Structures are given as C-alpha cells and as structure tokens.
Homo-oligomer: A and B are copies of this chain.
C-alpha cells in the first residue's frame, strides 16, 4: 500500500492538502507506552509553517486530535489514530492549476495516474502538508526510542552552495535554524532570502544521525537499515537522493581508506573510523548511523514558467500566486528525524524476535 510503511510497526498516512482532515494510523505500538502530548506538540511546531521568513505564512495549528488507541494518553494496544483538521484552506488559489500543471510538481503525473480524478487542490495527497501526520507518527517513535537511549537528530547540512561547518554530535532542536555553525546558517538564510527576492527557490541537504543504537539491528538484503530508511525517506516530497556514511564520496576511495579498522576498548569492539555510517551488510555496527538526504529546490516559484494548458494542449505561461516556502529544507529537518525514527523503531521491534 503506497501510503503505508513498516513491517512490525505500520504507519498509514491519509488526507489531502484540502480534504476535511489529514491524519495517520499507527499499528503495532506496544501497549503501555505513555505519549507526552506537550512534547509532541513542540516537535510538530518545528515542522509547522509560518515560523520564519522562508516559510509559507499559511498558519495551521497542527494540533493532533487522537481518535483511538490511547487511554489517558497511554497506548492500549489498538491502532493509534490522530487527525489534524484542515482549516486554513484557500482552494480558489488552485483553480488555474487544474489545467496548468506546475513544473516540478506531481500535478501532471497525478493526472496521468488518476485520470483527472486526483484532488488537484494544493497538491492533494502529494502535498508537503502530509508530512504533518508523518511527524505525529515519528514524534511518538522518537519519544519511545529516547527511553531506550536512542537519539535521532538532524541538521541542515547545506543550502545551495553553502555548507554547514563544525562537529555535528548533538540535537539542534532548540535552534530556529538548525545548523552547527550559526555563521554558516546566516549565510544559508541569506541564500534563501536572495532566492525569495527573485521569486525563486533553493534546495539543500539534510544530515541525520542516530546514536545509541544496539549492534545487530537491521537485516540482510532487502531489509537492511539502508533499505528501511530509504523506503520511508523517499516518501518525503522533494527528496532526490540518499546516502549513508561516506555515501557517494566512497565511490572515489580506495578500500584501504574506506574500511573502518576495528579496535578493542573497555572490552568492546569499536571502529576507529566510521566511513560506513554505522551500517555493514544492512546491520548496525553500534557506531552512529549517519545519512544525508538531498532536497530539490521548492518547485513552487513565483517566476513565470512554461507549462502546458491541458484543455487546449498548447504551451502556456504559469505564474504561481500565493506565497510558498522558498526553501523547504529547514522544515524538512524534523520530517527527516520523524522518518528515521519510524524506520529505526520498526527495526527495533523486528529485532527483538531474532
């Protein structure tokens, strides 16, 4: 099922950008897990729009209403369903898009697949808004993982040509713009401001780290940690690539440079380096798991673009109205954390039975 993910834990995402509600169902959570709603709210706020200059001003409370699966905020073993009502919708903004598919969006491919029946308003089920229920599910998993000593945190690794600098080894959740180097963060925000000014947009890379993992998590072949994480991360709109450890840079290396030598310390085996990004053969080594996801620039830009008028089947110019995030990377940071948390916790549940 394309809107579901997971092996032991299964999350199903439903809703469209402008449907009465969006939401998620999480099956397979153990009974007896307390959910800290206040903390979940804080997590969801990191993804919410309207927080900064680079973010769409559409204001959404994004407060989840839990319909099932909880008794006094503790899981009871039944599926957990939570919804968010869509209130601040402006469908008339989207009338033009019905006949003029936006370049770089799923408008045209949705038209191909659903033969005109797709919900074109706001991108329908393809909208970035659907990452809100993903973050509900992921926010719950993050709370559970933390109790197991597993921490997941992401940063903006780059935006446009600007790279973050410094050692990345702890959560940046308290930063409004999550980079290690505030100076580089400033420069990134400048790139976003420049793009916005020119009615354009920029892309970037999010880097995610998972610490505290037990060794032996994950499975051979098609259920390796990479397959599991890639399988959910590519469900986040605008992701065009993923790499683990040294990733694409590994392709340029010698084996003698890339192999992580083993050593013994305090009675435990440790790797002296972590080019592998914490995974060998799909299975965790106990070193930090590291991956990066590449986000393309937001396709919704104010600049006029060439598209096709579907009724007349001839080229047409599209000028997207309304305001859109000139860069979705900052808001994607908690989405990546959420996706990683779901994948990792699912692997943990699968692991307990080996």
Q: Are B354 and A280 in contact (CB under 8 A)?
A: no
Q: Give the residues from 1 to 45 in chain A that come closer than 8 angstroms, CB to CB, to chain B.
A: 1-5, 8, 10, 12-16, 19-23, 25, 27-28, 30-32
Q: 1/0 per position for A150-164, CB-CB distance to B under 8 A?
A: 000000001111000
Cα A252 to Cα B195 in complex, Å, equals 12
**How many chain A residues touch the partner (CB < 8 A)?**
148
A103-B260, A117-B74, A255-B301 in contact; A68/B16 too (CB < 8 A)? yes
A78: CB under 8 A from chain B?
yes
Stretch from A118-126, A136-144, A177-185 contacting the other chain: A118-126
Cα A296 to Cα B245 in complex, Å, equals 10
A204: CB under 8 A from chain B?
yes
List of B residues within 8 angstroms of A201 by Cβ: 254-256
A167: CB under 8 A from chain B?
no
List of B residues within 8 angstroms of A104 by Cβ: 255, 258-260, 276, 280
List of B residues within 8 angstroms of A60 by Cβ: none
Indicate how many identical chains form the complex: 4
Q: Are A237 and B281 in contact (CB under 8 A)?
A: yes
Q: Are A283 and B221 in contact (CB under 8 A)?
A: no
A1-B28, A71-B117, A78-B16 in contact; A221/B248 too (CB < 8 A)? no
Cα A276 to Cα B227 in complex, Å, equals 22
Contact of A299 among B222, B255, B314 (CB under 8 A): B255
Q: 1/0 per position for A236-268, CB-CB distance to B under 8 A?
A: 010111111111101111111111111110010
Contact of A223 among B2, B130, B224 (CB under 8 A): B2
20 contacts across the A-B interface (CB closer than 8 A) = A1-B10, A1-B27, A16-B68, A16-B78, A19-B70, A23-B68, A67-B83, A75-B117, A77-B113, A103-B262, A104-B258, A104-B259, A108-B280, A109-B281, A113-B283, A125-B220, A203-B258, A222-B235, A242-B242, A258-B299
9 residue pairs, one from A and one from B, having the closest CB atoms: A106-B281, A241-B243, A2-B219, A2-B223, A78-B125, A112-B216, A201-B255, A109-B283, A104-B259
Q: A residues near B, CB below 8 A?
A: 1-5, 8, 10, 12-16, 19-23, 25, 27-28, 30-32, 65-71, 74-81, 83, 101, 103-106, 108-110, 112-119, 124-126, 130, 158-161, 195, 200-205, 215-216, 218-224, 226-227, 230-232, 234-235, 237, 239-248, 250-264, 267, 269, 271-272, 275-277, 279-286, 294-301, 303, 305-308, 313-315, 349-350, 352-354
Given contacts A13-B79, A202-B253, A204-B251, 4 further A-B contacts (CB under 8 A): A15-B78, A108-B280, A126-B220, A267-B313
